[in-house]
């Protein structure tokens, strides 16, 4: 793809609106804007003069208007968009951003006209006629990246910000757009580059009396980098949920009140207009917003011992939904003793490690206590049924009492859902989470290389070999924040050691 020509695109969403924006970026942006737009009143004046001198009709386009459009950087100008016959098609506000002080770092012209798809298409067509090229998807941001206006994490955050479904998601994306990920990574990367520089110096400039690092020194320098990266990588679990939302499966036997609870939770929460796409496998699914996190409820078929094949499929789907979800909500009927199915569900779901037990119908005389539930998990999992894995932390399974009928305990349930699924969110309402799969994969790659370096160190391999591991750890970090060049490392060596001064 050519990146030094001038591109054009409609920047506002498809459809009709009060305003629609067409954006031009590239060396000819100004020229093209002047060709397709003209100063207001140019046509009228021409018509006037043609009347008085009985000349022919005005020329076809505004491009040869007598008064060229006066565009100055950071100034808004009022302009006319003439059609091919020179008639006013629309009026527009035009903003020129002179390079490098623009979104892309190139000359940018933004033309705001009325949000009519045909007018906008026409304007783009005129720009193409005047020499622009239609922008590829994301090309404005790509150019911003190529021109050093933002690093990759910021470019990726632009997309997240645009796609955010909740204000909290937008805040997290905005933090990353401000460089939050790079800010956390850069000091760690610097420590790694320092270590590489020290090793390189020890090898290349041995005769210059550069001190050779001891294994202990190296370990001491490796550890904080590893720990820091691991910490950022670990924040991805929470970050992923913030970005993609939380999937919650509601399970339980028939008539315990799943649908009532489901409706209760949906009713009070603001429904999200565009639900995250995904497979629902015939299960009812709804998305709401909970403290800024999109929450997708999957209401599963009532579980009981299967009598026919159709029901067996429904039950299997319920278990699959629970396994796929971030959190399973098991609903029990508090007015009844635990049944065989309840115990079976408890035993199967507890080992998944993401279970919240909701004892419903607490408005009726209770025949269930939290202790009974925990006991049931413990007993079942220590039974001889080998198909059920054991669970070591039954006590950690939260048990909540609610009444869907009287809408009691719903607020607490909501809180518990967030705390159980996103423990990291409870403490700090920070936006320092890694939300990007690509970035997480790269961090894991870097961590794997650092482990290899640690092993190399323990095995006493030569520093040349160790360096390979360290470069393998650096490369993925480069892919996140930007490349470290040979010059960077050399500069680092020379500034540290004053070699050959
Ligand atoms: P599901 O089959 O698990 O989805 O259960 P439903 O939500 O359809 O509820 C089954 C029955 O229990 C209905 O008659 C509800 O009115 C009733 N029910 C649901 N929640 C409560 C509750 O908190 N208290 C009482 N007393 N009845 C409830």
Task: Please tell me the least confidently modeled range out of 133-137, 187-191, 204-208, 477-481.
Answer: 204-208
Distances (CA, A) of 376 to 187, 258, 356: 50, 21, 14
pLDDT tops 50 at residue 199: yes
Distance 178 CA to ligand 1 centre (A): 48
In this structure, what DSSP letter does residue 214 have? P
- pLDDT tens digit sequence for 45-55: 544 444 444 33
The pair of three-digit structure tokens given for residue 286, joined into one six-digit string: 């709804």
Q: Are 434 and 440 in contact (CB under 8 A)?
A: yes
- The finding on whether 257 has its CB within 6 A of some atom of ligand 1 is yes
Q: Which of 404, 407, 410 to mutate to test the pocket of ligand 1 (most atoms within 8 A of CB)?
A: 404
489 versus 348: the higher-pLDDT residue is 348
pLDDT tops 90 at residue 108: yes
- pLDDT tens digit sequence for 215-271: 888 889 999 999 999 988 888 878 888 888 888 888 888 888 888 888 788 765 444
Distance 335 CA to ligand 1 centre (A): 11
pLDDT value at residue 70: 84
Task: Please tell me the least confidently modeled range out of 162-176, 257-271, 272-286, 371-385.
Answer: 272-286
Q: Are 244 and 276 in contact (CB under 8 A)?
A: yes
- The finding on whether 405 has its CB within 6 A of some atom of ligand 1 is yes
Query: Atom 22 (ligand 1): residue with closest C-alpha?
Result: 361
- The finding on whether 404 has its CB within 6 A of some atom of ligand 1 is yes
- The finding on whether 65 has its CB within 6 A of some atom of ligand 1 is no
Distances (CA, A) of 453 to 31, 227, 449, 456, 470: 55, 14, 6, 5, 6
28/406 Cα distance (integer angstroms): 67
Atom of ligand 1 at shortest range from CA of 263: 7
Atom of ligand 1 at shortest range from CA of 404: 23
Query: Atom 9 (ligand 1): residue with closest C-alpha?
Result: 257
- pLDDT tens digit sequence for 146-158: 888 888 888 888 8
401 versus 274: the higher-pLDDT residue is 401
- The finding on whether 364 has its CB within 6 A of some atom of ligand 1 is yes
Atom of ligand 1 at shortest range from CA of 331: 3
pLDDT tops 60 at residue 387: no
319/303 Cα distance (integer angstroms): 9
Distance 484 CA to ligand 1 centre (A): 61
pLDDT value at residue 443: 93
Strand order in the sheet with 88-97: 76-82, 88-97, 108-115, 17-25, 7-10, 133-134
Q: Which of 250, 259, 260 to mutate to test the pocket of ligand 1 (most atoms within 8 A of CB)?
A: 260
Look at residues 348, 322, 323, 310 and name the one whose alpha carbon lies nearest to residue 250.
322
pLDDT value at residue 267: 67
- pLDDT tens digit sequence for 113-144: 999 999 999 999 999 999 999 998 888 988 89
- The finding on whether 38 has its CB within 6 A of some atom of ligand 1 is no
The pTM assigned to this predicted structure is 0.65
pLDDT value at residue 273: 37
List of residues 6+ apart from 32 with CB closer than 8 A: 6, 8, 24, 109, 127, 130, 131, 132
pLDDT value at residue 152: 80
pLDDT value at residue 331: 93
Distance 406 CA to ligand 1 centre (A): 11
- pLDDT tens digit sequence for 178-193: 888 888 898 999 999 9
pLDDT value at residue 311: 61
Distance of CA 99 to the CA centre of its chain: 29
- The finding on whether 302 has its CB within 6 A of some atom of ligand 1 is yes
- The finding on whether 12 has its CB within 6 A of some atom of ligand 1 is no
pLDDT value at residue 263: 79
- pLDDT tens digit sequence for 235-249: 887 888 888 888 888
Percent of the chain with pLDDT over 70: 77
pLDDT value at residue 139: 87
Positive or negative, the Cα torsion across 110, 111, 116, 120? Answer: negative
Question: What mean pLDDT is reported for the chain?
Answer: 80
Query: Atom 6 (ligand 1): residue with closest C-alpha?
Result: 257
- The finding on whether 334 has its CB within 6 A of some atom of ligand 1 is no
**Cis before 278? omega within 30:** no
383 versus 276: the higher-pLDDT residue is 383
Distance 256 CA to ligand 1 centre (A): 6
- pLDDT tens digit sequence for 4-20: 899 999 999 888 889 99
pLDDT value at residue 277: 32
pLDDT tops 80 at residue 385: no
Q: Are 450 and 222 in contact (CB under 8 A)?
A: yes
Distance 336 CA to ligand 1 centre (A): 13
pLDDT tops 60 at residue 429: no
């Amino acid at each position: 793809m050519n990146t030094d020509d001038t591109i054009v695109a409609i920047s506002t969403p498809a459809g009709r609106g009060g305003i629609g924006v067409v954006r031009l970026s590239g060396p000819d942006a100004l020229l093209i804007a002047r060709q397709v737009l003209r100063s207001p009143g140019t046509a009228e004046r021409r018509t006037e003069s043609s009347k008085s001198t009985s000349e022919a009709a005005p020329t076809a386009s505004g491009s040869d208007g007598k008064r060229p459009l006066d565009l100055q950087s950071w100034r808004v100008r009022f302009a006319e968009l003439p059609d091919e016959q020179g008639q006013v098609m629309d009026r527009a506000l035009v903003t020129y951003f002179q390079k490098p002080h623009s979104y892309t770092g190139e000359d940018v012209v933004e033309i705001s006209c009325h949000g009519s798809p045909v007018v906008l298409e026409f304007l783009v067509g005129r720009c193409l006629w005047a020499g622009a090229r239609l922008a590829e998807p994301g090309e404005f941001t790509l150019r911003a990246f190529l021109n050093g206006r933002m690093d990759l994490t910021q470019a990726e955050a632009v997309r997240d910000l645009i796609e955010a479904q909740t204000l909290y998601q937008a805040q997290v994306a905005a933090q990353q757009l401000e460089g939050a990920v790079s800010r956390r990574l850069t000091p760690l990367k610097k420590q790694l580059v320092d270590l590489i520089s020290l090793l390189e110096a020890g090898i290349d400039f041995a005769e210059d009396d550069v001190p050779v690092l001891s294994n202990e020194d190296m370990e001491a320098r490796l550890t904080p980098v590893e720990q820091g990266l691991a910490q950022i990588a670990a924040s991805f679990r929470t970050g992923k949920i913030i970005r993609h939302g939380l999937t919650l499966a509601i399970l339980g036997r028939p008539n315990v009140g799943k649908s009532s609870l489901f409706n209760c939770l949906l009713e009070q929460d603001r429904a999200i207009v565009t639900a995250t796409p995904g497979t629902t496998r015939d299960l009812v699914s709804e998305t709401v917003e909970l403290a800024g996190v999109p929450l997708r409820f999957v209401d599963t078929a009532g579980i009981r011992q299967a009598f026919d094949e159709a029901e067996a499929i429904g039950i299997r789907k319920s278990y699959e939904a629970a396994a796929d979800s971030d959190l399973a909500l098991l609903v029990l009927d508090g007015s009844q003793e635990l049944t065989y199915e309840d115990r079976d569900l408890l035993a199967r779901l507890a080992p998944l490690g993401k279970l919240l037990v909701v004892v419903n119908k607490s408005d009726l005389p209770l025949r269930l206590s939290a202790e009974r539930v925990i006991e049931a998990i413990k007993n079942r999992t220590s039974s001889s049924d080998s198909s059920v894995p054991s669970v070591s932390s039954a006590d950690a399974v939260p048990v909540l009492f609610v009444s869907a009928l009287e809408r009691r305990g719903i607020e607490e349930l909501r809180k518990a859902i967030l705390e159980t699924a996103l423990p990291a969110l409870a403490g700090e309402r920070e936006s320092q989470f890694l939300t990007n799969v690509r970035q997480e994969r790269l961090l894991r790659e870097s961590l794997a290389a650092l482990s290899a370096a640690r092993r190399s160190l323990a095995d006493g391999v030569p520093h040349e070999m160790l360096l390979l591991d360290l470069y393998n750890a650096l490369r993925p970090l480069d892919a996140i924040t930007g490349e470290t060049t040979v010059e960077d490392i050399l500069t680092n060596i020379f500034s540290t050691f004053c070699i050959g001064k």
